[in-house]
Amino acid sequence: MRDRRTSFELLLSLLQGASWALVILGSVTFFSFFSSFGFLIALISAFIGSLGGLFFVVVFEIAQIQSEKLREIKKQTTVLEEISKKLD
């Protein structure tokens, strides 16, 4: 049986993808802008340019993990309630 994903989880997935796009865009932009100063400087600036997007990737990943944990806790609660009813 396949679990249905809520609209919140779909939105989180979309925002996570947009965050990865921001990482790539920031790193490529900073790398190309600073490439005239040398490869090492361009590489460091590409990392700095990607930090904003990486922050949002982590935030949305944590939100997705918490959402999955909540769904799993709800399933466990339902099972425990059924077991409790059968024991009574």
Reply yes or no on whether the pLDDT at 4 is more than 80: no
pLDDT digits (tens, 9 = 90+) for 65-82: 999 999 999 999 999 999
Q: What's the CA gap between 50 and 20, in Å, rounded?
A: 9
Q: What is the mean pLDDT of residues 16-32?
A: 96
CB 73 within 8 A of CB 81: no
Average pLDDT, the chain: 92
Reply yes or no on whether the pLDDT at 48 is more than 70: yes
Q: What tokens appear for 6 in the block? A: 């809520």
How many Cβ atoms from other residues are within 10 Å of residue 68's Cβ?
Answer: 12
